[in-house]
Structures are given as structure tokens and as C-alpha cells.
């Protein structure tokens, strides 16, 4: 069969297996996957889809029914798919809008947080890796007893200083990034959102990191406006205040656009949108949301510190199910808030989970007889070790089931260790083996031990589970065939 014939046959089979053209609301594709919004997902034959020649996996998330096909190949299959079904071509954003209508309020909240923070990940990861590089240069005892690289080679001091300046910029001005992204997501002008962020970290305000000391010393600067006493305090390192302020900005801006005459709109709307939002931020929103953020941060720290190893193991056990639903994205703003407070334990937890999925997938590669699954497991297992788990989870582990359970247990073991040793990251980073560069210099070894424990234990448990007919469907099928 030629490539063209394979593409055509795959498109024909998938069209029928998802319930036919009448069951499709919209269809698009990304680099590797068909992204469909179906009227009724129960009509889709998932087992049949997974047996199709070019299909590497399938999963449903955030209202979208996604079929993993692969880079390049998905383009060809998609062209034939929409042509056969008489389906109008949709963009990814249009598919997302259609999928949003099918989500419940909790899913919509998680998606909102994801849409705001996921675009910021490259900037935060770049800064985190630079912080990690600075840690390597300045950590005492990492390469030389009682000395850092900078102390051993003073010529590196200015390089380390420059890297540190570059690394801290994204976190010092984080509200600007969030303001831009959130305003855009809420339907407002993203540049006005950035202005709100700039106002919140203005040099005229008391730096947020100095606020606690200023309160104790009674030296917090204030404005006296219309009888109100308003603290002149910035919001460096905070997340919730600028998120809510960006939402208010977007609503005020849209309200004004509808009511201000067109001839004055470009002058009046930006002025009053920013001025009203800034006033509300400093008088109401900022204080309330700063307190809410502190409660969330302190609550997670209390769970981490008071439950200790048990809490870490429970967190590690449930992290994979959270990832399946996409709810792990809601932890990113919490991670940022914890980092701003001095250090976060979430990167170590996420890294243990990811490498556990990788270890389970690589073991599944050795235990399965399915050549197609072996090929998928080989590449997706390595990808999971580096922090990208979706192909491993949805393409292999969930399909075979027992590797997924083993990965959850392996994650719990590793997470118990990193919790016991209190591994903290000083910046968000890639949640895999390479995430060690983003943790405190003294925690790097324990981070690597914890992730290695997760991978090895997930691999071993997967191997044990694979010998159980109750857990391993392939083994049970082989036994039935032999008995017949």
C-alpha cells in the first residue's frame, strides 16, 4: 500500500470510528494530533481507533477528542478527513471555542488559568534555567570543597552577575507578563493589561519584598485620597492581584467601548480603563487578592510541612490523574507564588511524576508484543524523562492500564523522598531529569535521587504487574489462546 493509500484509508476509518460526519462539530489539527469536537464522545469507538494503522494514541481533554497521528502525517490525514466528511476546515482557536461550551465551570476555570499562564512558560523556563546556571556557578562545594566556581575562578564573577540580572528580570516584572496575557485572554487590550502590570511594580511603590519589614517598622508609605488612606505598595512576585485586575480592566474597557462615542473612544476608553482599574487595584483588589494568594501558599506549605512524607506520597500518587484532566496547569501560579516566597516543592513533585511515567513506558516497551506500541513507547518514554508526558501517558500507559498504575506508585515513592529531604526549586523549570538546574544548589543531589527512585520503582512495579493476568490483558489473552 502506498503512502497516499494509507492516508486515505486512515481518514476513511477514522471518520466512521468517531461516529460519522454527523457526530463532528468541528475539526482541526496541530503538529501531531487531530483535534475534534464531537457531539457525543460515547459514539466514538476508541478501541477501533487505536487499531488504525497510522494512529499512535488517543485521549480526550478540555472538550476535545484528540487522535495522535504524528508530525507531517497528520496534515495529510486531516486533508482527506475533512474532504471525505464534507467538514469545514477550522482553526485550533475555533475548535477550542467549540470545546469550551462543553466544559463544566471547574474545567473552564482550569482552562482559563492554563490559557493565561501556559504562554508565559517559555519566559519563565528561560529565566529558571539561567537561575540554575547561576546556582551552578555560585554554589559552594559543588565542584570544589568549601568553594564555588566563582570563588575558584574570580574571572567568572561578572558573568555570574550578568546571568543573575537576566534571570531575575522575568520575576521582578512578572505582573507585566501576566497582565498582558490575562487581558488578552479576557478580551481586553493586552497592552493596557501590561500597563496595569507596570503600575503594580512601579519604582514609586514600596517593593513588595520589603513590605513585611516596613509594616513592623511602621514605615509603609501611603496616599491620602478623598479621605482614604491607601498603601503605596508594589506587587512584585504576586499572581492573583494582577489576574483579577486584568479581568476588571477587560470588563471596564468593553463596557466603555459600547458607550463612548466613536470619535472619543481612542482617548477616553484607555484613560478611564486604566485609571479606574488602578484605583480599584490599590484600594480593594490588591489587598484582598494578596491575602488570598498568601492563604493558598501558606495552606500548601502547611500540608507539605505538617504531613511530611505521607503528604508528599499522596501528592505524587494523584499528580498523574490531575495531569489527565489538565488541572496540573492550575498549580503553575501557585508554584510561582511559592518561588516568590523563597522556594517551591512543586517542581520536584512534578518531575518525579513525569519520570515515573517514562520509566513505566520504557518497561511496557519491553513487555508488550505489539510492534507499533513498542515504537511509540521507545520515543514517548524518553520524552517523559525530559518532562513531556502526554505521549507516554495517553499513547501507552493508559492504553495498557497497568503501567499507569505502576507510574502512580513510582511517583509516590519518589515524591516521598523529595518531600522528606525538602527539595525546593527557586524557579519554574522543565519537570524532568533536567529540572535539577532549577533547584537550590544544596538540593540538586536529592532531586536526582528522588527522580531516579521514581523512574526505577515505576519500571520495576510495571514489570511485576506485567506478570499478572488480572492486570495484563496481553498476558491473559496469550493464556486463553494457549489453553484453546
pLDDT in tens, 74-100: 888 998 998 888 887 666 566 666 666
pLDDT at 215 over 80: no
Q: What is the pLDDT of residue 295?
A: 75
Dihedral sign for Cα 60, 61, 63, 67, please. Answer: negative
* Over residues 333-354, mean pLDDT: 82
* Over residues 151-164, mean pLDDT: 88
* Over residues 209-226, mean pLDDT: 80
Question: Of residues 179 and 315, which shows the higher confidence score?
Answer: 179
Question: Of residues 475 and 403, which shows the higher confidence score?
Answer: 403
Q: What is the pLDDT of residue 478?
A: 56
Which three three-digit cell numbers place residue 183? Answer: 487581558
Model confidence at 255, pLDDT cuts 50, 70, 90, reads very high
pLDDT at 480 over 60: no
30 tagged catalytic: yes
Catalytically annotated residue among 30, 352, 363, 438: 30
* Over residues 314-319, mean pLDDT: 87
Burial grade of 369 (CB within 10 A; 0-12, 13-18, 19 or more): exposed
Q: Please, are residues 439 and 339 in contact by the beta-carbon 8 Å criterion?
A: no
pLDDT at 342 over 80: no
Q: What is the pLDDT of residue 90?
A: 62
Say how far apart CA 192 and CA 251 lie, in whole Å: 12
Global pTM?
0.61
Q: Please, are residues 395 and 32 in contact by the beta-carbon 8 Å criterion?
A: no
Q: Please, are residues 296 and 337 in contact by the beta-carbon 8 Å criterion?
A: yes
Q: What is the pLDDT of residue 244?
A: 92
Say how far apart CA 44 and CA 317 lie, in whole Å: 30
Question: Of residues 447 and 384, which shows the higher confidence score?
Answer: 447
* Over residues 104-117, mean pLDDT: 69
Q: What is the pLDDT of residue 96?
A: 63
Model confidence at 481, pLDDT cuts 50, 70, 90, reads very low
pLDDT at 40 over 70: yes
Q: What is the pLDDT of residue 120?
A: 78
Say how far apart CA 251 and CA 259 lie, in whole Å: 13
Q: What is the pLDDT of residue 326?
A: 55
Angle (nearest 5°) at CA 336 between 185 and 300: 115
Q: How far is CA 373 from CA 76, 335, 364, 365, 366, in A?
A: 22, 35, 9, 7, 10
Q: Which of 147-161, 213-227, 279-293, 331-345 has the lowest mean pLDDT?
A: 331-345
Say how far apart CA 377 and CA 88 lie, in whole Å: 34
Average pLDDT, the chain: 83
Amino acid at each position: 500500500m502506498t503512502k497516499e493509500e494509507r492516508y486515505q484509508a486512515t481518514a476513511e476509518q477514522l471518520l466512521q470510528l468517531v461516529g460519522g460526519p454527523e457526530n463532528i462539530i468541528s475539526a482541526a489539527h496541530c503538529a501531531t494530533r487531530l483535534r475534534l469536537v464531537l457531539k457525543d464522545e460515547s459514539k466514538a469507538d476508541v478501541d477501533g481507533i487505536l487499531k488504525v494503522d497510522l494512529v499512535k494514541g488517543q485521549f480526550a481533554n478540555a472538550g476535545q477528542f484528540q487522535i495522535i497521528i504524528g508530525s507531517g502525517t497528520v496534515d495529510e490525514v486531516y486533508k482527506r478527513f475533512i474532504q471525505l466528511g464534507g467538514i469545514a476546515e477550522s482553526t485550533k482557536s475555533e475548535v477550542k471555542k467549540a470545546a469550551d461550551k462543553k466544559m463544566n465551570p471547574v474545567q473552564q476555570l482550569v482552562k482559563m488559568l492554563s490559557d493565561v499562564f501556559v504562554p508565559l512558560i517559555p519566559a519563565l523556563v528561560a529565566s529558571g534555567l539561567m537561575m540554575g546556571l547561576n546556582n551552578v556557578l555560585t554554589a559552594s562545594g559543588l565542584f570544589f570543597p568549601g568553594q564555588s566556581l566563582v570563588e575558584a575562578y574570580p574571572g567568572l564573577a561578572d558573568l555570574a552577575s550578568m546571568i543573575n540580572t537576566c534571570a531575575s528580570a522575568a520575576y521582578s516584572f512578572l505582573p507585566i507578563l501576566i497582565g498582558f496575557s490575562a487581558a488578552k485572554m479576557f478580551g481586553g487590550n493586552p497592552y493596557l493589561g501590561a500597563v496595569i502590570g507596570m503600575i503594580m511594580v512601579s519604582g514609586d511603590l514600596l517593593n513588595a519584598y520589603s513590605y513585611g519589614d516596613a509594616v513592623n517598622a511602621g514605615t509603609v508609605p501611603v496616599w491620602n485620597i478623598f479621605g482614604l488612606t491607601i498603601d503605596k505598595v508594589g506587587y512584585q512576585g504576586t499572581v492573583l492581584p494582577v489576574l483579577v485586575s486584568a479581568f476588571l480592566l477587560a470588563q471596564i474597557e468593553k463596557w466603555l467601548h459600547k458607550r463612548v462615542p466613536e470619535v472619543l473612544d481612542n482617548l477616553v476608553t484607555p484613560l478611564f480603563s486604566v485609571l479606574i482599574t488602578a484605583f480599584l487595584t490599590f484600594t480593594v483588589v490588591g489587598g484582598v487578592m494578596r491575602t488570598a494568594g498568601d492563604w493558598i501558599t501558606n495552606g500548601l506549605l502547611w500540608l507539605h510541612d505538617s504531613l511530611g512524607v505521607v503528604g508528599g506520597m499522596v501528592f505524587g500518587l494523584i499528580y498523574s490523574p490531575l495531569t489527565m484532566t489538565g488541572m496540573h496547569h492550575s498549580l503553575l501560579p501557585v508554584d510561582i507564588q511559592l518561588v516568590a516566597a523563597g522556594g517551591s516543592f512543586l517542581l520536584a513533585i512534578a518531575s518525579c511524576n513525569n519520570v515515573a511515567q517514562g520509566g513505566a513506558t520504557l518497561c511496557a516497551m519491553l513487555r508488550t508484543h505489539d510492534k507499533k506500541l513498542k515504537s511509540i513507547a521507545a520515543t514517548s518514554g524518553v520524552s517523559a524523562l525530559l518532562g513531556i508526558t502526554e505521549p507516554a501517558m495517553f499513547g501507552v500507559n493508559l492504553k495498557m492500564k497497568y503501567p499507569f498504575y505502576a507510574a502512580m506508585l513510582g511517583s509516590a515513592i519518589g515524591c516521598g523522598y523529595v518531600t522528606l529531604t525538602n527539595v525546593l526549586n527557586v524557579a519554574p523549570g522543565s519537570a524532568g531529569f533536567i529540572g535539577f538546574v532549577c533547584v537550590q544548589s544544596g538540593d540538586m543531589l536529592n532531586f536526582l535521587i528522588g527522580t531516579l527512585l521514581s523512574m526505577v520503582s515505576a519500571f520495576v512495579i510495571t514489570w511485576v504487574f506485567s506478570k499478572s493476568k488480572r492486570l495484563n490483558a496481553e498476558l491473559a489473552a496469550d493464556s486463553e489462546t494457549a489453553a484453546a
